[in-house]
Amino acid sequence: MTYTLSINQRVPLGDVAATATAADPVAIDDTVRARVQASRETLEKFVAEERVIYGVNTSMGGFVNYLVPVSMARQLQENLLNAVATNVGERLDDTTVRAIMTARIVSLSRGNSAISLKNLDKLIAIRNSGVVPQVPQKGSLGTSGDLGPLAAIALVCIGQWKARLDGEELSGAEALARVGIAPMELSFKEGLALINGTSGMVGLGSLNIARAKRLLNTYLLISALSVEGLAGKTKPFDPRVHALKPHKGQQEVAKFLWETLAESTLAVDELDTELLLSGEMGDTAKAGSKSIEDAYSVRCTPQILGPVVDSLAAIEKTVEDELNSSNDNPLVVPDEIEVFHNGHFHGQYVSMAMDHLAIALTTLMNLSNRRIDRYLDKSNSEGLPAFLCQENPGLRLGLMGGQFMTASLTAETRAKAMPMSIQSLSSTGDFQDIVSFGFVAARRAAEVLDNVAHVVAFELLCACQAVDIRGTEGLSPATRRLYEATRELVPYLDHDVTITDYVETLAQHLLSEPGLG
């Protein structure tokens, strides 16, 4: 199905991720075409009037003080692309490149960037053709836009650099020839319009957020399953007490757990524990057979995941606002009949949003890590066997080794939570003197997300092992569905076996399938 952009349409961030993942084509309607044409004609009017405009009749970056006649426009724009296409490292996957190209098309379709309609049409055609520019991952400052990543894409559009088509690596010129698209011929400002924006970090950010939302939604259900697996008490989730602390995310998480566990008999009614302990009360202080309260990793789930829920909502709005912006320089606004030199290319909003995403995900992972420890530690698991090893303990080691992996990933991920958005370094003769590193923040958030998914996958594996030991007949209807979906992928482990494939399969499902499909 073709996704069509309109001038009055606010594009939901999730649509970028969805169209990129499905490789659905994108298009623009007549309202966009008229606005893009008006912006270009406005710029052409200014050129005819010999106004001095950055990137039109001046050079760029550290050579901003150089005047360049418009007769040299094509060479100037092509030189720009080649000069800044300096990223290195592994290439981005096809889905990420499509998301980035889609984000750039959305921004250009706002009709304030003065790209020619002909070249915007070519960008859309290339995005839809199956040609995927090869974009090295590392090297973007995220200020003056994602110059390196976007230049790699733009070079393919003019028939240079490298691309993939049907899995085959080709020169940009050959790839375009095979799909019957003539390379772009750039005029003044057009190379700048293709690369001078935040679309790299927005495209990658859109995928991060879509995957994080899937993981979080499933993790709420995993949390309910872990309450059952750890014989946790449900009263701390009663919405009546959460009404006394008006954080929206906290209240949503508590309500979900309260309702999900309503029919569970594995989760504990606190009143039963209170009655038991009351019967054990005597004339001297002594240890009771149960505790009246659970550890924080069970009891404080709404207070820990609530901020994650709220943060993710704010992060999504920030990146969606950036998606629906004109984010290059200069901007040519036909309504005002004016050109504005500006700094809309600066990626600080997205950089901070991606840092916040990494912090939120690390918070979720910390919770998961602590629950895993409770599952495997006999003294803290409310009657479960050590390392969830029910059969032949000692001869077998059970799930002991899985904690090695989760502890390692947790430590690594905490180190990655150091914000990139504060790591500014000056460059370009001190012209770009404060930068965002937004693309780096987005790329690192993707790495954090992958790590967290593997930790959560092992918690889910432990939870299913635990409820098998306790008796699955006590599961709530919702957690039973999760349990059964997991058991289609991972069996009950009554013998020691390498679990890498199981954990990786679960992690992949957590990121791609809501509720494990």
The DSSP call for residue 179 is T
Please give the structure tokens belonging to residue 123.
Answer: 């960008």
Distance CA(486)–CA(517), nearest Å, equals 10
Query: Is a pLDDT exceeding 60 seen at residue 291?
Result: yes
Query: Is a pLDDT exceeding 90 seen at residue 426?
Result: no
Q: What is the pLDDT of residues 225-283, one digit of tens each?
A: 999 999 999 999 999 999 999 999 999 999 999 999 999 999 999 888 888 888 989 99
Decide if 341 contacts 429 (C-beta within 8 A): no
Please give the structure tokens belonging to residue 14.
Answer: 């999730």
Share above pLDDT 90 across residues of the chain, in percent, rounded to a whole number: 93
Q: Decide: helix, strand or coil at residue 352.
A: helix
Helical packing angle, 477-487 and 438-470, nearest 10°: 100
Confidence of residue 516 (pLDDT cuts 50, 70, 90): low
> Could you tell me which residues are beta bridge partners of residue 26?
3
Q: Which residues contact 51 (CB under 8 A, 6 or more apart)?
A: 339
Confidence of residue 289 (pLDDT cuts 50, 70, 90): confident
Please give the structure tokens belonging to residue 82.
Answer: 């080649």
* Identity of the residue numbered 452: V
Q: Which residue has the higher pLDDT, 517 or 363?
A: 363
Q: What is the pLDDT of residues 437-479, one digit of tens each?
A: 999 999 999 999 999 999 999 999 999 999 999 999 999 999 9
Query: Is a pLDDT exceeding 90 seen at residue 308?
Result: yes
What per-residue confidence (pLDDT) applies to 517? 47
Confidence of residue 514 (pLDDT cuts 50, 70, 90): low
Please give the structure tokens belonging to residue 5.
Answer: 């952009």
What per-residue confidence (pLDDT) applies to 11? 98
Q: Decide: helix, strand or coil at residue 491.
A: coil
Query: Is a pLDDT exceeding 80 seen at residue 428?
Result: no
Distance CA(226)–CA(305), nearest Å, equals 14
Q: What average pLDDT is seen over the chain?
A: 96
Catalytic: 54?
A: yes
Considering the candidates 54, 66, 349, 502, report the single residue annotated as catalytic.
Answer: 54
Average pLDDT over residues 345-353: 97
Average pLDDT over residues 429-444: 90
* Identity of the residue numbered 249: G
Phi and psi torsions of 193, nearest 5°:
-65, -35
Decide if 188 contacts 71 (C-beta within 8 A): no
Q: Mind listing the domains of the chain with CATH numbers?
A: 3-196 (1.10.275.10), 216-300+361-510 (1.20.200.10)
Q: What is the pLDDT of residues 185-237, one digit of tens each?
A: 999 999 999 999 999 999 999 999 999 999 999 999 999 999 999 999 999 99
Q: Which residues contact 517 (CB under 8 A, 6 or more apart)?
A: 485, 509
Confidence of residue 67 (pLDDT cuts 50, 70, 90): very high
Distance CA(462)–CA(455), nearest Å, equals 11
Average pLDDT over residues 368-397: 98
Query: Is a pLDDT exceeding 60 seen at residue 335?
Result: yes
